Structure 1
Amino acid sequence: MQNSPSFKSTASTYGLTLGIILVLFFILIYTFNLELITKWWLKLVEFFLIIVIALVGMSKCKKAFNGTFTYKYSFTSYFIIIVIGLSIYTLSSYLLFNFIDPDAAQYVLDETIRMSRNMMEGFGAPESEIDKAIAKMESENQFSLSNQIMGLAITLIFYSVIGLLLALIFREKDTTAA
């Protein structure tokens, strides 16, 4: 389709926008209260922020597309936005916790361990199981490149499932097919 580059360009722009907004969001949290990184409700805010920006981007891609915006094009626009945005976000997290401020990574790990211990104790887990889980958390570097890439892949799978559903909303049925 002759309009593909325009819609892909629009999706890329929204992907960059998503990445920049997520990085700014992350920097604000890092600057003002690093402990917030471990809060579940902040992940919920982040989730809605990602979905809203992806929806706006998909809508703009649909307008930039001068043909039938099929399911394929709808999902492709969403996927481009998500891949670019989350890749930028993951890269910034990796750089911060491994090169800029490794002490922040240790603080986040300590807070995560504390919260995990409290949660497991609240559920009545045996002390031996709690100790085993905490030893595993301490032995792995959650901010290593391989763990960050693995986390990105899992996150992309999660958001892709959502994207498959959202693409149904934005698609147009191909009326030229017999």
Structure 2
Amino acid sequence: MEEKESAVKAGVNAGLILGIVSAIFTFLIYFINPNTLASGAYGFGLLAVFTVLAVILGIRYRKSIGGFISFGEAYKFSIVAFVVMILIGFVTSILLFVVIDPALPARLAEQSIENTLAIMERFGAADALSDEQIDEMRDGIIEGYTVFGIFKANLISIIFYSILSLIVAGIVKKKDKSLEY
């Protein structure tokens, strides 16, 4: 009898795929237009890509183990995949923001402030922030690109992705109706 791959092992493999895709997108965007890394659209776009990929990989795993998977096993698969992806993203971020281009955080902070001020201007609140508040915002953004800031953001990401894993598991799970009586 053939042994089935565990949800954890399949999750690690899926996480490696998600993490590599994340790293490729990050470096690709960095080389094309680094300022895009500061846009909300980029972040939401990546989130959509990761969610779709996690569902596809989860369904592929479900099919490989016989076509049925419990919610718990699907959740285990997806949370492991997302944690592995976050770990690879952590390493990628440190490489990019600390090793490859240490000046990038300051440029992204400026871009983020410009984006924020443009949004505030559209709502008629362009003068709501003082220069001191803008400087504090800039310092906070730059702090987020330090090793500790990246680590802290990744811890918060784990909470967010654990919730997203619930959604992915809900989509991927499939009961074997023939076992009900």
User: What's the TM-score bracket when you normalise by the shorter of the two chains?
Assistant: 0.7 to 0.9
Give the match for residue 47 of structure 1: 47
Give the match for residue 153 of structure 2: 151
Taking structure 1 as reference, are residues 171 and 105 closer, same or farther at Cα in structure 2, changes over 3 Å only?
A: same
1:97 shift after superposition: 0.7
Stretches of structure 2 lacking an aligned partner (at least 5 in a row): none
- Number of residues paired by the alignment? 177
Amino acid at match of 2:17: T
Give the match for residue 164 of structure 1: 166
Stretches of structure 1 lacking an aligned partner (at least 5 in a row): none
Amino acid at match of 2:51: I
Give the match for residue 70 of structure 1: 70
1:174 shift after superposition: 7.1
1:28 shift after superposition: 0.8
Tell me the alpha carbon deviations over residues 90-146 of structure 1, each in whole angstroms, 9 at most, x when there is no partner. 321122111211112221111112222222233333736343442222223121122
Give the match for residue 23 of structure 1: 23
Give the match for residue 98 of structure 1: 98
Give the match for residue 115 of structure 2: 115
TM-score norm. by structure 2 comes to 0.83
Runs of 4+ in 1 over 4 A off after TM superposition: 2-5, 174-178
Taking structure 1 as reference, are residues 144 and 4 closer, same or farther at Cα in structure 2, changes over 3 Å only?
A: farther
Taking structure 1 as reference, are residues 118 and 67 closer, same or farther at Cα in structure 2, changes over 3 Å only?
A: closer
Amino acid at match of 1:77: F
Taking structure 1 as reference, are residues 60 and 67 closer, same or farther at Cα in structure 2, changes over 3 Å only?
A: closer
TM-score norm. by structure 1 comes to 0.84
**Aligned-residue CA RMSD (Å):** 2.6
Taking structure 1 as reference, are residues 56 and 67 closer, same or farther at Cα in structure 2, changes over 3 Å only?
A: closer
Matches of 1:45 and 1:95, distance apart in 2: 22
Amino acid at match of 1:142: G
SS at 2:144 equivalent: coil
Amino acid at match of 1:165: I
1:7 shift after superposition: 3.2
Matches of 2:21 and 2:102, distance apart in 1: 23
SS at 1:129 equivalent: coil
Matches of 1:146 and 1:4, distance apart in 2: 39
Matches of 1:118 and 1:33, distance apart in 2: 19
User: Is 1:84 equivalent to 2:93 in the alignment?
Assistant: no
Taking structure 1 as reference, are residues 51 and 3 closer, same or farther at Cα in structure 2, changes over 3 Å only?
A: farther
